[in-house]
Amino acid sequence: MTLVRPRTTRRSRPSLVILMALLMLVGSGPAVAAQDTGTGGGRPPLVMATVTGAEAINIRECPEITCEAISVAELGDTVEVTGEPEDGFTPVRHGGRDGYAYDLFLGREGLPVPRFVEGAPGCDRIALAFNVGQGFEPSVGILDILEREEVDATFFVMGWWAEENPELVERMVELGFEVGSHGDQAIALTNRTDAEVVADIEDAAARIRAIIGDDLGPAFTPYAAAIDDRVRSLVASTGYLPVGWQITSDDWDYDATAEAVWDNVVPNAYDGAIVELHFDGPATEESTQTALPWIIDGLGQRGYEFVTISDMMLPCGAADALEAAAEADAEAASEAASGSPTPSPAKDDRPRS
């Protein structure tokens, strides 16, 4: 029986500047690593946190993404935590000013740095995350299916693979999909030294950027899901957000089947889930590529919208609002350039890459 999915239009991805603005806004999904700053009574001790997992974040005047940014804290900057988190935003003091920073990008001494593994519930969103770099024949039909069905997805690409398949990486970007890093080589980073881990992250970035420039997004998935607190900290210290998942298709091996991929994904899906799949495993064409239309239909029947990892980080409706604002700013700039009178656009205080 063929399932008919309610049609949803895949959002065309924003321009480079707006995409990076979305990522640097970091008023995004829930902080995965809960970090308690309470003391059980009395005045709490001074708690410091370091900006991790992003090149820069906004400090806002209130705990909402629409609030004005009053300062910018860059990667490695230290802020003072002044209270308990509110809806994922933590009250902080930075540069002598009080405001709110998103907790997902704050690392506290003695605790693991945060890792993004799921989005906030209440939005009916699912993010498909394809890891790329096993080295078998790539299942390019996956790109065709996603384009035909107008479904957003994120591809985490290995550096060596990007260098050998530049046309496919370019096509991913041209079709509007998000591209993140899956490291450079097929090695377990947990078995490598600090210097080797950082070198792998930086080498991957250099290879991928040589093909698509700054269209490389600042999110990272480790090869074979090999990550621990040390590797998480190293990834975050380079400005990448470590990304994980709660649902895996388990499609990486020779015995993967379309039916098994469906069974691993659809019955276990939930609001805010990140689903891990593969693009070039030994049985991807027979398993994931075959099951993908079923997954899209099945989850669409349940009312889910497919989003990128970056969109999943944002509060419900924020990506649409930000794109609308960007389009309005662009229209205002165009009208101003043509000499037509137009109201001054709102100040865009978002940090740029």
pLDDT, tens only, 53-82: 999 999 999 998 888 999 999 999 999 999
CA-to-CA separations, 347 to 83, 162, 315, in angstroms, rounded: 29, 37, 21
CATH 3.20.20.370 residue ranges for the chain:
116-313
Give the Cα separation of 142 and 155 in Å (integer): 11
- 155, 14 contact by CB (below 8 A): no
- The b-or-e profile of 237-272 (16+ CB within 10 A means b, else e) is bbbbbbbbbebbbbbbeeebebebbbebbbeebebb
**Three-state secondary-structure class, residue 300:** helix
**CATH 3.40.228.10 given to domain 30-35+47-108:** no
Residue 74: partners with Cβ closer than 8 Å, 6 or more residues away:
51, 55, 56
Q: Residue 182 gets which letter from DSSP? A: -
CATH 2.30.30.40 residue ranges for the chain:
30-35+47-108
CB neighbourhood size of 66 (10 A): 12
Which tokens belong to 185? 């080589």
- The amino acid that residue 167 corresponds to is E
pLDDT confidence tier of residue 338, bands split at 50, 70 and 90: confident
DSSP E strands in the chain: the ranges are 47-51, 56-60, 69-74, 78-81, 89-94, 97-102, 106-108, 125-132, 154-157, 178-181, 216-220, 241-242, 247-248, 273-278, 305-307
Give the Cα separation of 241 and 256 in Å (integer): 29
pLDDT of residue 326: 74
Give the Cα separation of 75 and 236 in Å (integer): 9
According to CATH, what is the number of the domain 116-313?
3.20.20.370
Query: Which residue did the predictor score with more confidence, 48 or 341?
Result: 48
pLDDT confidence tier of residue 128, bands split at 50, 70 and 90: very high
pLDDT confidence tier of residue 16, bands split at 50, 70 and 90: very low
pLDDT higher than threshold 70 for residue 297: yes
Residue that has been written with the tokens 């079923």 in this structure: 294
Which tokens belong to 94? 């930075």
Q: Residue 81 gets which letter from DSSP? A: E
pLDDT, tens only, 172-203: 999 999 999 999 999 999 999 999 999 999 99
Q: Residue 170: which of 153, 183, 186, 157 has the closest Cα? A: 157
Cβ neighbourhood burial of 113 (10 Å; 0-12, 13-18, 19+):
buried
pLDDT, tens only, 240-258: 999 999 999 999 999 999 9
pTM score, whole prediction: 0.84
